[in-house]
Structure 1
Amino acid sequence: MKKRIALSWSGGKDGCMALHSLTKQGHEIVCLITTVPSEIGRTFGHGEKTEAIKCQSDALGIPVHFIECTFEGYTQSFIDSLIKLKEKYALTSVAFGDLYLDGHRNWGEEVTKAAELEAIYPLWMEKQHAPLALQAFVDSGYKAVIIRIKEEVLEESWLGQEIDQQFVENIKDKNVCPMGEAGEYHTFVYNGPLFMKEIGFKFGDKLQLETTKRLELEDMRLLKK
């Protein structure tokens, strides 16, 4: 049965692979959903600019809905938004790109249940299979760069690196999840099989945050493929 799915979207490789997997199975991703603190204009998860997420939405041809929320009211805002989107798009399900963290899955299943929707985790796996998932992304044809790193585990030089075969080899030497599931690094996907247009950009400033460092992407634009 073909499902109508809202996909939780932070702009990185995991959400992209969830999109790819579900589309390949014949389901329809009717919208992307991204949480943002209402006063900041950046995403809750990775601190990405909302304009960057909108650019991905346009490149993919899938509408994105920003869920404005506070830390204290995060869960209820998410549920309320799902209920509205269910009516607007006749949703059957909500998909998440989590890999193996039970706490993340438990939360996702609770909020979708509250909205009377199905929770889907198309990438769910055992932790030891993370290296295979990284290789699958590299082999998929999607293109992504590292935009944020956790400084206690990765050096600043990792910012801006492509997620390619060289990255697969280099990350093996680090005591981290190769997929960055514990927040060791975050990515931005800018091209691939489902992208109708490529996203062009330039590297901007490197921002020092509390325990992480992020690379700003500037001059974002859609390019013909």
Structure 2
Amino acid sequence: MPRASADAPTTVLSWSGGKDASYALWQLRNAGERVTELLTTVSAATDRSSMHGVRRGLYERQAAAVGLPIRFVELPSDADNDEYEERMAEVTAEYENRGVERIAFADLYLEDVRAYREARFADTDLSGHWPIWGRDTETVAREFAEQFAATVVAVDDDALDASFAGRRFDTDFLADLPDGVDPCGENGEFHTFVHDGPIFDRPVSVETGERVTREVGEETTVHYCDLLAAD
């Protein structure tokens, strides 16, 4: 893997622990970019990712295995968008003071999401960076499945039934996706946790645990598969 260029911008990667973020880190490193930290959010009440349901401890193991520090932003369980933006603005200011130049995101094509992120940097010295923007999602998904190991940890019931939660993200999983479901889950159809691949110094050993179904907000039903450290 190429060494980071000394004059490459100092970059923090917005981190979900899932396949798109892992794929983005792989591409950044292959391009000689200088990624210095991972940034993610967890619920202060559960110590888990709000969207993925992944335990903080697994993120810590994952970050150690890819050789990067990880910054956790704790959010109240009832945090609204204003509170989220306030917390993230504090982090952004801290990064500016530390000399970080940009924050990278693993978004692929959702224009409104990118525009929202760009607006957050309007009054800062930071910029956004989208290393995998515009790539064909089927190509990305298949390349990822060939190179990485990941488990599906959450699925939106509007897109997939509960049987998809806990499955390995591989070519069989992709073949079983119904028509209209993005192979990278870019529209929130499913989320993953990555535990091995070319960005890892060592695998993160995990095993599947309890599967539960929960209402998220007023209109969304999500099927979760809990992941546990296996060693």
Q: Normalising by structure 1, what TM-score?
A: 0.89
SS of equivalent residue, structure 1 residue 160: coil
Once the two structures are TM-superposed, the CA of residue 182 in structure 1 deviates from its matched residue by: 1.1
Distance in 1 between residues matched to 2:184 and 2:174, nearest whole Å: 10
- Measure how far apart 1:168 and its partner are: 2.6
CA distance in 2, matches of 1:4, 1:220: 34
Say whether the 8 Å CA contact 1:8–1:33 is kept in structure 2: yes
Contiguous gaps of at least 5 residues in structure 1? none
- Structure 2 residue corresponding to 1:158, chosen from 152, 156, 164: 164
In the TM superposition, what whole-angstrom CA distance separates every residue of 1:33-87 from its partner, at most 9, and x where no partner exists? 0012323311233232111111111111100001123323101211210221333
Question: Shift of residue 220 of structure 1?
Answer: 4.3
CA contact (8 A) 2:58 2:229 kept: no
Matches of 1:48 and 1:158, distance apart in 2: 16
Q: Which residue in the other structure is 2:130 paired with? A: 121
Aligned to 1:179: 184
Deviation at 1:23, TM superposition (A): 0.9
- Which residue in 2 is equivalent to 1:83? 93
Which one is further off, 56-65 or 102-111? 102-111
Separation in 2, partners of 1:112, 1:192: 32
Equivalent position SS for 1:207: strand
Amino acid at match of 1:11: G
Provide the residue aligned with 2:3 in structure 1: none
Residue 56 of structure 1, aligned match among 48, 51, 62: 62
Tell me the C-alpha RMSD between the 2 structures: 1.6
Aligned partners of 1:191 and 1:198 also within 8 Å: yes
Which of residues 87, 93, 105 in structure 2 aligns to 1:96? Answer: 105
Aligned partner of residue 103 in structure 2, secondary structure: strand
Residue matched to 1:45: 51
Return the letter of the residue paired with 1:17.
Answer: Y
Query: Is residue 209 from structure 1 mapped to residue 219 from structure 2 by the alignment?
Result: no
Equivalent residues of 2:53, 2:226 under 8 A apart: no
Matches within 5 A, 1:133-152: 133-139=140-146, 141-152=147-158
Structure 1 pair 220–4 and aligned structure 2 pair: CA distance change class (3 A): farther
In 2, the alpha carbon distance for the partners of 1:174 and 1:207 equals 25
Which residue is equivalent to 1:219? 229
CA drift of 1:11 comes to: 0.7
What is the aligned residue count?
216
SS of equivalent residue, structure 1 residue 145: strand
How far is the alpha carbon of 1:102 from its aligned partner? 1.4
Of residues 160-169 and 209-218 in structure 1, the stretch that sits farther from structure 2 once superposed is 160-169
Contact 1:145-1:189 within 8 A present in 2 as well: yes
CA distance in 2, matches of 1:3, 1:220: 37
Equivalent position amino acid for 2:84 in 1:
Y
> 1:199: Cα distance to partner?
0.7
Give the Cα–Cα distance (whole angstroms) in 1 for the partners of residues 122 and 23 of structure 2.
24
* Stretches of structure 2 lacking an aligned partner (at least 5 in a row): 1-6, 216-220
CA deviation string 1:78-102 (max 9, x = no partner): 12102213333x2111001111111
Q: Distance in 1 between matches of 2:201 and 2:121?
A: 30
Q: Which amino acid aligns with 2:126?
A: L
Q: TM-score, normalised by structure 2?
A: 0.87
Amino acid at match of 1:82: T
- 8 A Cα contact 1:147 1:159, kept in partner: yes
What displacement does 1:160 show? 1.9
Q: Does 1:190 align with 2:190?
A: no
Distance 1:78 1:44 in 2: 15
**Cα shift readout 1:157-213 (whole Å, capped 9, x = no counterpart):** 112222222223222x43211111111110000011111111111111012111011
